[in-house]
């Protein structure tokens, strides 16, 4: 097992806390119609698209009628952006990226979010140019938990799955990493901590103080346990 050659960060919830604001924005829309949206229900959409739960379809189902989503989404996203704009970069993220750059480790974002969303917030926090690659759902339109985004990132960066570490906060994200044969550390948010993680990757309260050496130690221990085997299909794709 070689040293870490790549760090692959999820974006929402890992680099920037956008998920709680996203939940609050949906809560606000639901409240306008006298409805409530539970956190556990909303958490099903985190790290993917509206696959297991669609808040639009659910609200229309409850109301028994179609809604003007163009206007509702405009207001919802504006409200979310106002909250996200006040969020700092998550603890330890900048420091870990800086250490990776100094060590010659490639750094990438692998996200089910669209590019415009990611780049907007990277610019907001003066993080342009910090990443060797931004692999997003505009380029590989199959979101997590499918492994496609991770497999495409590995191919684009010229890295082997066993030599990189992914950082995720959701079951969908960690499942995608596992299906791509990638070791992952999970830093759950308040919302995703409520969910069941099917893959038993290590959990961290945050990335504050976390170093490459610590991540490599966790990766080596995990691989020695034999629980991060790459599926034949994933290996063929990578």
Is 63 strand, coil or helix?
A: helix
What gap in Å lies between CA 15 and CA 117, rounded to an integer? Answer: 13
Q: Given its phi and psi angles, is residue 181 left (phi above 0), alpha (psi -120 to 50 degrees) or beta?
A: left
Half-sphere exposure of 183 (CA within 13 A, CB side): 25
Is 1 strand, coil or helix?
A: coil
Compute the residue count for the chain. 238
Q: Determine whether 12 is an active site residue.
A: yes
What gap in Å lies between CA 80 and CA 97, rounded to an integer? Answer: 26
Q: Which of 12, 148, 163, 169 is catalytic?
A: 12
Q: Determine whether 10 is an active site residue.
A: yes
Q: Which of 10, 148, 163, 169 is catalytic?
A: 10
Half-sphere exposure of 19 (CA within 13 A, CB side): 26
Give the residue numbers marked as catalytic.
Answer: 10, 12
């Amino acid at each position: 097992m070689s040293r870490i050659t790549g760090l692959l960060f999820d974006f929402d919830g890992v680099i920037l806390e956008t998920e709680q604001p996203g939940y609050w924005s949906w809560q606000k829309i639901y409240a306008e119609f006298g409805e409530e949206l539970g956190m556990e229900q909303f958490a099903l959409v985190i790290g993917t698209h509206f696959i297991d739960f669609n808040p639009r379809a659910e609200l229309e189902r409850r109301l028994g009628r179609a809604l003007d989503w163009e206007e509702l989404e405009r207001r919802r996203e504006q409200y979310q952006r106002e909250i996200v704009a006040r969020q700092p970069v998550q603890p330890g993220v900048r420091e870990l990226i800086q250490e990776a750059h100094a060590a010659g480790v490639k750094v990438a974002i692998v996200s089910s979010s669209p590019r415009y969303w990611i780049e907007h917030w990277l610019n907001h926090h003066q993080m342009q140019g910090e990443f060797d690659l931004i692999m997003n759902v505009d380029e590989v339109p199959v979101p997590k938990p499918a492994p496609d985004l991770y497999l495409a990132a590995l191919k684009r960066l010229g890295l082997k799955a066993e030599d990189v570490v992914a950082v995720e906060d959701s079951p969908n994200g960690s499942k995608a990493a596992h299906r791509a044969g990638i070791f992952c550390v999970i830093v759950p948010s308040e919302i995703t901590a409520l969910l069941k993680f099917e893959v038993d990757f290590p959990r961290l309260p945050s990335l504050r103080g976390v170093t490459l050496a610590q991540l490599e130690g966790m990766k080596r221990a995990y691989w020695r346990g034999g629980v991060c085997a790459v599926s034949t299909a994933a290996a063929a794709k990578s």
